[in-house]
């Protein structure tokens, strides 16, 4: 079968974060599939078609891209950040697993990108310098009780926690509830980083303490990193602070 599907990570927004491999995969595609605002970031290339769809249509988008690739086309489907982190690569795998046998014969490649938590961490120091985990706060695809259980386990075990999808228009209370939950396990002084629209013109980074985190605005374009009890803040005059987690850990003492 001659069709080809590349699942391409665009990074957090700044074109300098787009890898040469991603750029080459985009240039080689006859058609591009993706969430409209992600496609809008890309230069148009003559002869290349675009199929934009809504954020919550990932399964249908993946199936449409697979159908076109199965018909022999060279197709790229794009994700912000890394396509394997809460994004399109899993959606494509789900469709391949459930779909017609011919889709298993397609040439499928995943092209990695800089995921939001790494971009945010790099802007502020090294908060992910020791053990960490990533959680999506979206309860569209999992029950809220499971999210609470994972927050308890992660904070209780001393992980730094990266929170993706903290808030959306249809999920207004989840972020505040997650912060309340984490306060059960972590000191009030735990550093919390809000990285908004990193790599875009309206980028903004804030560092607060856990007792004040619930009132700090997060939105759909914000990635939140909640420190562990070991995470430290170095204040610097005239410069933004450095937040880091030392490489060595002692006992979990929570
Ligand atoms: N695949 C993406 C994540 C998709 S989930 C990645 O690897 O980054 C969408 C969530 O990612 C957003 O709600 C936000 O929490 C985070 N995010 C994506 N782009 C971001 C950016 N430029 N700055 C901060 N957070 C971002």
167 Cβ closer than 6 Å to some ligand 1 atom: no
pLDDT at 254 over 90: no
Any idea which of 34-38, 44-48, 123-127, 247-251 has the lowest mean pLDDT?
Answer: 247-251
Give the model's pLDDT for residue 56: 78
Instruction: Say if ligand 1 is within 6 A of residue 174 CB.
Output: no
Question: How far, in Å, from the CA of 227 to the mean position of ligand 1?
Answer: 18
Among 7, 80, 168, the mutation site with the greatest number of ligand 1 atoms within 8 A of its Cβ is 80
CA of 204 to the centre of ligand 1 (A): 14
Residue 220 Cβ < 6 Å to ligand 1? yes
pTM of the model: 0.96
pLDDT at position 195 is 98
Q: What is the pLDDT of residues 201-223, one digit of tens each?
A: 999 999 999 999 976 689 999 99
The stretch 115-136 carries a mean pLDDT of 98
Q: How far, in Å, is the centroid of ligand 1 from the Cα of 250? A: 31
- Return the pLDDT at 214: 79
Of these ranges, 1-5, 12-16, 38-42, 158-162, the one predicted with the greatest mean pLDDT is: 158-162
Convert the pLDDT of each residue in 56-90 to its tens digit.
789 999 999 999 999 999 999 999 999 999 999 99
Whole-number pLDDT of residue 55: 80
pLDDT of residue 169: 87
> How sure is the predictor about 251, in pLDDT bands with cuts at 50, 70 and 90?
low
- The protein residue whose alpha carbon is closest to atom 2 in ligand 1 is 81
For residue 79, the CA-to-ligand 1 centroid distance in Å is 10
Q: Does residue 31 surpass a pLDDT of 80?
A: yes
Q: 222 CB less than 6 Å from ligand 1? A: yes
For residue 1, pLDDT beyond 90: no
Which region holds residue 7: left if phi is over 0, alpha if psi is between -120 and 50, else beta?
beta
Ligand 1 center–CA 195 separation, angstroms: 10
SS3 of the chain: CCCEEEEEECECCCHHHCCHHHHHHHHHCCEEEEEHHHHHCCCCCCCCEEEEECCCCHHHHHHHHHHHHHCCCEEEEEECECCCCCCHHHHHHHHHHHCCHHHHHCEEEEECCCCHHHHHHHHHEECCCCCEEEEECCCCCCCHHHHHHHHHHHHHCCCEEEEECCCECCECCHHHHHHHHHHCCCCCCCEEEEEECCCCCCCEEEEEEHHHHCCCCCCCCEEEEECCCCCEEEEECCEEEEEECCCCCCCCCC
Q: What is the mean pLDDT of residues 130-149?
A: 97
**Nearest ligand 1 atom, CA 195:** 24
């Amino acid at each position: 079968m001659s069709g080809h599907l590349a699942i391409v990570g665009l990074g957090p927004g700044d074109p300098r974060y787009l890898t040469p491999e991603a750029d080459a995969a985009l240039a080689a595609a006859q058609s591009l599939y993706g969430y409209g605002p992600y496609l809008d970031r890309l230069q148009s290339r003559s002869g290349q078609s675009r199929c934009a769809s809504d954020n919550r249509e990932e399964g249908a988008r993946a199936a449409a891209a697979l159908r076109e690739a199965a018909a022999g086309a060279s197709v790229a489907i794009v994700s912000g950040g890394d396509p394997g982190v809460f994004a399109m690569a899993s959606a494509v795998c789900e469709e391949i697993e459930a779909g017609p046998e011919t889709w298993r014969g397609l040439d499928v490649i995943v092209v990695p990108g800089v995921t939001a938590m790494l971009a945010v961490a790099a802007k502020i120091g090294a908060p992910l310098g020791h053990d960490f985990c990533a959680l999506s706060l979206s309860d569209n695809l999992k029950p809220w009780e499971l999210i609470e259980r994972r927050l308890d386990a992660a904070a209780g075990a001393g992980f730094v926690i990266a929170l993706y999808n903290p808030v959306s228009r249809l999920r207004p209370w989840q972020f505040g509830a997650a912060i309340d939950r984490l306060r059960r396990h972590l000191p009030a002084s735990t550093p919390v980083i809000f990285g908004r629209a990193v790599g875009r013109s309206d980028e903004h980074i804030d560092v607060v303490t856990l007792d004040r985190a619930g009132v700090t605005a997060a939105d759909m374009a914000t990635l939140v990193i909640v420190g562990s009890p070991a995470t430290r803040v170095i204040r610097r005059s005239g410069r933004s602070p450095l937040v880091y987690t030392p490489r060595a850990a002692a006992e979990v003492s929570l």
